[in-house]
Amino acid sequence: MNIKTHWWPLAALLIGSQSLAADNILDEIIVTADFRGRPVTEIPSSVTVMDAKFIKETAVQHFEELVNLVPNLNWSGDGNRARYFQIRGVGETSQYEGAPNPSIGFLIDDIDFSGIGTIATLFDMQSIEVLRGPQGSRYGANALGGLIYMRSIEPSAEQSGRVQIGVAGDNAFSVGAAFGGALNESASTTFRLSAHKHESDGFRSNTYLNSNDTNGRDESTIRARLRFSKSADFEANIAVMYSNIDNGYDAFALDNSYIMLSDKPGRDAQESIGTSVRLDWNAFGRGSLTSITAAANSDINFNYDADWGNDDSWGPITYDYETFNDRKRHTLSQEFRYATQHWLFGVYALSLTDELATLNLGNYYDPLYDYLSTLDYAFDSGYKATNMSLFGQYNNEINSDTQISAGLRIERRSTEYRDTEDLTADPSEILWGGEIGIVHDFTDSVATFASLSKGYKASGFNLGMVPDNIRFYGNEALWMVEIGIKTALLNQSLFLNASVFHQWRVDQQVRTSFQLTPGDPTTFDFATLNVDESRMLGVEAELSWALHRDWELYVNLGLLDGTFKKIPPNLGIDPLLGREQAHAPAYTLAGGIAYRSESGMFARVDVTAKDEFYFSASHDQKSNSYGLVNTRIGYENENWLVSLWGRNLFDREYAVRGFFFGNEPPDFPDTLYTRFGDPRQFGLTIEMKF
């Protein structure tokens, strides 16, 4: 592709329209997930920031609705809601067993929910930041491929609130309220409270049970924020959240449709309560001191009908299997960091416990061969991990136009694991990551950056009936070189951020699947192996343009070429050599145009497209490429908002997860089973503001 040839027409268009955009200035974007809260133009890496307005206009309920808008971001539909994410092809695709070592960090108001992102509801959310590439010095082992940071609306001294009601197809109904302001006359203490509930049927019809809600959604979230700032030298921020996601799970059909046949639909539920306390002393010696304390408890149930059918589906054969997973996770973390003008030093400690109880039940009887097989298998495991980290960062100006930064993190991870199969594992290791970057301003509106960074991921172990030589797997390192440009043109009305990156993974952890016993879907299992090396080359570009007082335009593009380069010959996965990574489409594209007039009328259209991608490293089955169109139109003034919206206007069928195995007796042929994303839906949202 000739980049210059494709970009010259756009450049000519921008130059010719400068007079139209002269008085329409876009706000400066601050990345709060960064140590120092720097503008996005000063950070030598790729970051996407979505503000409250964009979130509110482009999504309805959950973060999964925003994933396709971010370059090279994907998600795995291994549940009712998205909880596993992939950035540039890096990230888990299914529920973990044994050691919870996620590759993508996921934080909500500084509370760590990495690997359990089901609770990512959007009501009263202020911003979402997606940091692409390894975050070795900032977040450590749980952010090998990047970080997603969600921040709810902060308290302010101004008394304000809103009440929102929504109705939509799929028998959807939602109601929410938020309000806040000052608690005293001096406004030194401010608060924000919000609560929201969403219900819908889940876009599936179970004809066997004559039900439309076996995959239904029941999602409730309560948030509370408190800020205390008696002087300019000290500020305290407290966040508390409670989330109860009690969704059904009936998403896979034997004919890959929205018509289900299961007789025992499952459940995908997560109940979490978490809190964070952030204390900032802005005049502590010659610098500033920050303390962040966070804790969370989560109870997660993931249960499903493993055969996806019923007695009539399989008769005269009896074929009936169920799986129940009950997981409890507890986290407690503490971070201290001290920053001066050029230096930042910190310590971090995390205590994590993860308990899993699994129950598999099954009954198989073939009267033709008089063959009977029953299953009643219970499994319990307990995992504890302690992470201790030291980190530092240096920032300085070489001259008035050039800034450099460097960071380093050293982490010691100690773990204990026990289960009812008498497997014990106590790996401990020391890991390190970091980065060095440079930002150079060619002009006041054009800056370039270059960086070298290293991320890391801890080692782990495989459960179940796996050969001894793959029981344990080693840690992984991800190196990245990235160069890019960040521009603010046309009197600050147009922003263009673009970058080219090269990532290579050393001793990459690859999760593969297998089925031990044909005819028993509960023996469909996974194992993680180390692959010597893989490489990812890519391009990312984000353009946002306030092209007129009433019009805004954006285009986001991600290109990715990620392949396995070196594979040990004794692992039995040689076909992966030279193949693309799973859930790593070669392109992601998003674009939209929004209109908002002084009269209060507004409208927007958003289009996303995604290339085909492999579902797994275990087989060569792919999704189809697809494009989606969403829209919204409405009216807003100081007191009211009314909007009509539509998602997936052309009712495209698109797969978000796929399995390839035998699940249909008596011959159990290997078959691709896919789970579709949400079909077309129209809705109405009404909001009263006060």
Peptide bond into 679 cis (omega under 30): no
CATH code at 34?
2.40.170.20
Q: How would residue 18 be classed by pLDDT, with cut points 50, 70 and 90?
A: very low
Rounded to an integer, the average pLDDT of 669-676 is: 96
Rounded to an integer, the average pLDDT of 425-442 is: 95
pLDDT of 525 above 70:
no
pLDDT of 567 above 70:
yes
Regarding beta strands 205-206 and 259-260, do their DSSP bridges make them parallel or antiparallel, or are they unpaired?
A: parallel
Rounded to an integer, the average pLDDT of 427-455 is: 95
Please tell me the predicted confidence (pLDDT) of residue 38: 85
pLDDT of 563 above 80:
yes
Element (H, E) at 437: strand 428-441
- Rounded (5°) CA angle 517-523-526: 120
- Structure confidence by residue, pLDDT tens digits, 647-659: 999 999 999 999 9
Please tell me the predicted confidence (pLDDT) of residue 10: 37
Please tell me the predicted confidence (pLDDT) of residue 604: 98
The pair of three-digit structure tokens given for residue 27, joined into one six-digit string: 């706000």
C-alpha–C-alpha distance, residues 138 and 546, integer Å: 33
Please tell me the predicted confidence (pLDDT) of residue 4: 38
Please tell me the predicted confidence (pLDDT) of residue 14: 37
Please tell me the predicted confidence (pLDDT) of residue 27: 66
Q: How would residue 69 be classed by pLDDT, with cut points 50, 70 and 90?
A: very high
Please tell me the predicted confidence (pLDDT) of residue 39: 85
Residue 420 neighbours by CB distance under 10 Å? 12
Cα distances from 489 to residues 445, 547, 592, in angstroms, run 6, 11, 19
Please tell me the predicted confidence (pLDDT) of residue 444: 87
Which one-letter amino acid corresponds to residue 503? Q
User: In terms of residue numbers, what domain contains 621?
Assistant: 3-689
- Structure confidence by residue, pLDDT tens digits, 21-32: 445 555 678 888
What single-letter DSSP state applies at residue 96?
-
pLDDT of 99 above 90:
no
Element (H, E) at 645: strand 640-647
- Structure confidence by residue, pLDDT tens digits, 276-327: 999 999 989 899 999 999 999 999 999 999 999 999 999 999 999 999 999 9
- What DSSP string runs through 201-225? --S-EETTTTBS-TT-EEEEEEEEE
- Structure confidence by residue, pLDDT tens digits, 452-463: 999 999 999 888
pLDDT of 271 above 70:
yes
Please tell me the predicted confidence (pLDDT) of residue 96: 74
Whether the Cβ atoms of residue 269 and residue 247 lie closer than 8 Å to each other? yes
- Structure confidence by residue, pLDDT tens digits, 202-226: 999 999 999 999 999 999 999 999 9
Whether the Cβ atoms of residue 393 and residue 35 lie closer than 8 Å to each other? yes
Please tell me the predicted confidence (pLDDT) of residue 570: 75
Rounded to an integer, the average pLDDT of 412-436 is: 94
- The domain total for the chain is 1
- Model-level pTM? 0.93
Q: How would residue 491 be classed by pLDDT, with cut points 50, 70 and 90?
A: confident
Please tell me the predicted confidence (pLDDT) of residue 94: 84
- Structure confidence by residue, pLDDT tens digits, 168-188: 999 999 999 999 999 998 889
- Structure confidence by residue, pLDDT tens digits, 577-600: 899 999 999 999 999 999 999 999
Rounded to an integer, the average pLDDT of 544-555 is: 94
Rounded to an integer, the average pLDDT of 227-239 is: 94
- Structure confidence by residue, pLDDT tens digits, 118-159: 999 999 999 999 999 999 888 988 899 999 999 999 999 999
Q: How would residue 524 be classed by pLDDT, with cut points 50, 70 and 90?
A: low
Q: Is 585 exposed, middle or buried (CB count within 10 Å of its CB: 0-12, 13-18, 19+)?
A: buried
Which one-letter amino acid corresponds to residue 13? L
Residue 470 neighbours by CB distance under 10 Å? 17
Please tell me the predicted confidence (pLDDT) of residue 568: 85
Q: Which of 193-197, 247-251, 546-550 has the lowest mean pLDDT?
A: 546-550
Cα distances from 182 to residues 192, 226, 500, in angstroms, run 9, 10, 46
pLDDT of 256 above 50:
yes
Please provide the average confidence, as pLDDT, over all residues in the chain: 92
Rounded to an integer, the average pLDDT of 60-67 is: 97
pLDDT of 57 above 60:
yes
- What contacts 299, CB < 8 A, 6 or more positions away? 270, 271, 272, 326, 327, 328
Please tell me the predicted confidence (pLDDT) of residue 519: 66
* Residue closest to 239 by CA, chosen among 171, 149, 327: 149
Sign of CA dihedral 307, 311, 316, 322: positive
